[in-house]
Amino acid sequence: MIKCISAIYFQIADPPLFSYDYPFSPISLSSSSVQQGQNDMGILQCEESSSNSTLSNPFHIKEPREFNGSFVTMTEVQGLCRDKQSLDGVDRMLQHFRYLVSKLKEVDPRKMRHDEKLAFWINVHNALVMHAFLVYGIPRSTLKRVSQLLKAAYNIGGNTVSVEMIQSSILGCRLPRPGQWIQSLFFPKQKFKAGDARKGYAIEHPDPRLRFALCSGSHSDALLRLYTPKRVFQELEVAKEEYLQTNTSVHKEQKLLLPKNVESYVKEVDLCPSGLKEMIQLALPEHFTRKYQGKLWKKIEWIPHNFTFRYLISHELLESVVSF
């Protein structure tokens, strides 16, 4: 599912995207935002496309040996074009995706092991959110965006499962959302009642690293990638490193800028200052940590979550575009 919908996003991004091979953050083209739709796959008009943008390489890495962690190659999508011509061009892929979605009703997550549930729900969550944007467009108002994402749902094992259920009741990881006071007022946290079969869908215990794997279409989100049962724990660790690699910056060599998403993770795992320093040092280029040594660790500024629409799609997913 996640490969198929990534292929669809790749095809209907405006302007068209191209694959680039770069050791840290590839040059990529951005796309324009879309106008909101009123029905499933309706005919819409595209807005004028924005100018091309580049994903920067903030640490100026040229060779793999300069880097301690994994390397990231990705493509950036800043919007979708959903006019009739664009959607007709991906009709075969859309039909295949709908078929895959329809098969979810035959899946029983209660029979899965913990690692299988983790990989399954991460992939389903990310595909469901992307599907919602594909169907309804990108809402301009905060209330519409919150309600759209929280209400989007699939039939899984004969039960309705929404984005909100996956985050709060199944995975135990609620992502930041715009207008959280609106969410608290109109969309309180959902809990499964006694006897609800969906209680068995939940993972055995939450994993704080999930916030680096779940994507909700925001600029501050993690990289979209595929998760597999056999390697899900290693993949979550890589996702955490990738998030630090692509979201850490320095302001005038005086302070370290980190996303609030990282601050939330630090609080969840009760990480001490020295633990935070070690985590960042392991993820970032050696020459970067060598240059600043102990200068910045006491001057950290937590950057608020940016809810502007964007997807960073891993090249491992985009390589599958050829097969569709």
Report how far Cα 73 is from the mean position of its chain's Cα atoms. 15
pLDDT (tens, 9 = 90+) of the chain, 324 residues, equals 999 999 999 999 876 665 444 333 332 223 333 333 333 432 222 322 333 333 444 444 334 334 444 455 788 898 999 899 999 999 999 999 999 999 999 999 999 999 999 999 999 999 999 999 999 888 887 667 777 777 799 999 999 999 989 998 999 998 887 766 555 555 556 666 777 888 999 999 999 999 999 999 999 999 999 999 999 999 999 999 989 988 888 877 678 889 999 999 999 999 998 898 888 888 777 777 677 666 666 688 899 999 889 999 988 887 655 555
pLDDT at 33: 32
pLDDT score of 292: 65
What pLDDT is stored for residue 5 in this prediction? 95
Inside any domain, residue 294:
no
Q: Is residue 252 part of a domain?
A: no
Contacts of 91 (CB under 8 A, 6+ apart): none
Supply φ then ψ for residue 206, to 5 degrees.
-65, 155
Under a CB-based contact definition with an 8 Å cutoff, are residues 68 and 286 in contact?
A: yes
Do the beta carbons of residue 240 and residue 268 sit within 8 Å? no
Inside any domain, residue 40: no
CB atoms within 10 A of CB 317: 22
CA distance 205 to 233: 13
Per-residue buried b or exposed e for 284-299, using 16+ beta carbons within 10 Å of the residue's own CB? bbeebbeeeeeebbee
pTM value is: 0.81
CB 179 within 8 A of CB 173: no
Tokens of 115: 């690692």
- Residue 256 falls inside a structural domain: no
Task: Name the residue range of residue 191's domain.
Answer: 1-14+71-225+306-317
Calculate the CA 271 to chain-centre distance: 23
Distance (Å) of CA 311 to CA 130, 199, 275? 9, 31, 30
User: Which of 287, 288, 223 has the alpha carbon at shortest distance from 256?
Assistant: 288
In a domain, 6, yes or no: yes
Q: Does residue 295 lie in a domain region?
A: no
Q: pLDDT at position 106, please?
A: 97
Asked if the structure places residue 237 within a domain, the reply is: no
Residue 84: inside a domain: yes
Total of domains in the chain: 1
Distance CA 144, CA 130 (A): 16
